[in-house]
Structure 1
Amino acid sequence: MYAMQYEIKLPNDYDMDIIRNRVKMNGFKTDNFPGLSLKAYLIKEKDHNNITNIYAPFYLWNDSEGMNKFIFDGYYDNIISSFGWQKISIGIKYEAKIEKNIKKSRYLVEEYIDIQPVSSIKKLDIKSSFECYENTLSEVIIYNPEKWKVVKFSFVENLPNKLNEHVSYYEILHISN
């Protein structure tokens, strides 16, 4: 499995209802997309936690064929025509626990760690490096060996009371799976 995300930074005065309406009108189009395990339509609004407005869809692909179809067969062109050329971040699945009730999730909590050089990667305990949130409905852990980063995406109904400095969160507008 592969994870994919692009983060579109929007002006601070951007009306985020434009994104909400876009997802309301088009979000269903990725339901049952070939090779797609899930897509979460995510936003961050400028507030005391976020310095800017962001639209950042997150995808989990079963294989590279579905991802390639989305990127190269014209579907991603909708992003280019609406928001310009975006850099796509790619990660490799370390672990994914997608539950049937994932669509109850209202937020996605993103937590990352850097993997520091070690003499044996086998000894790394990736999962214990992350927080466990009691209202997690599903979670995905990905890694990128080019950057030596690991990211945990927790799909939650309610935001945790305390978030550390390596944690951010998004509002979920729609989940396709």
Structure 2
Amino acid sequence: MNSMQYKITLPNDYDMTVIRERVRKNGAKTDGFEGLLFKAYLIIDSADKKQYAPLYIWKDSVGMNKFIFEGYYDNILKSFGWQKINIGVPLDVHMSTQFSEAKYVFETVNSIEEATNISYPTFLTEEKDCVGKVLVYNPDKWNYTAFYFYKEVPTGKNTRFVYEILHLSM
């Protein structure tokens, strides 16, 4: 299993309806994509932050390689230029029966501290009302990211790390 995400930070005056329309027209193209467990089309659209940050969880590298090298990723390159793709290893993936109803994602990024005995990273808290969660680690950066999926806007969260899901391909 692999994870993949690119985070495209846009100018604060960027009209996010452009992204919303792009996903409305094209989001379903990744529904049922070979090897894809799911893709969440994520955005942040606030006064001080505009970001398009699709998150992919791949069952294996075959579909991911096809997406990157067989023309699908070229649409990102043509629209937004060369983007760094963050690749990670999914350590823990929980998808409830209500996962497909998720509309928001809360993200936390944490360090894996240097140690003589390394232990598994874990979700920091048990999130109430969560319909799915994914924990991805990156040994090249020694960090891990936890994604918590919700049907409603999660309360009590730093809104700088809450994404709206425009489309969820499965």
TM-score bracket for the superposition, by shorter chain length: over 0.9
Residue 115 of structure 1, aligned match among 102, 105, 112: 112
Q: Is structure 2 residue 97 aligned with structure 1 residue 104?
A: no
With structure 1 as the length reference, what TM-score do the two structures score?
Answer: 0.91
Residue 155 of structure 1, aligned match among 131, 135, 149: 149
With structure 2 as the length reference, what TM-score do the two structures score?
Answer: 0.94
Residue 135 of structure 1, aligned match among 126, 129, 137: 129
Match of 2:169 in 1: 176
* CA RMSD between the two structures: 1.6
Match of 2:70 in 1: 73
Percentage of identical aligned residues: 46
CA distance in 2, matches of 1:102, 1:22: 23
Unaligned runs of 5+ residues in structure 1 are none
What are the superposed Cα offsets for residues 111-141 of structure 1, whole Å, 9 maximum, x if unpaired? Answer: 12101111111xx3522x5122211101111
SS at match of 2:108: strand
SS at match of 1:118: coil
Unaligned runs of 5+ residues in structure 2 are none
The more displaced of 27-36 and 155-164 is 155-164
Match of 2:91 in 1: 94
Q: Is structure 2 residue 114 aligned with structure 1 residue 126?
A: no
Match of 1:16 in 2: 16
Q: Is structure 2 residue 139 aligned with structure 1 residue 145?
A: yes
CA distance in 2, matches of 1:25, 1:161: 30
What are the superposed Cα offsets for residues 93-120 of structure 1, whole Å, 9 maximum, x if unpaired? Answer: 1111123321211101111210111111
Q: What is the letter of the counterpart of residue 18 of structure 1?
A: V
Q: What is the letter of the counterpart of residue 143 of structure 1?
A: Y
CA gap of 1:28–1:134, structure 2 versus 1, over 3 A, is same
> Residue 93 of structure 1 contacts residue 140 of structure 1 at CA under 8 Å; is this kept in 2?
yes
> Residue 104 of structure 2 contacts residue 154 of structure 2 at CA under 8 Å; is this kept in 1?
no
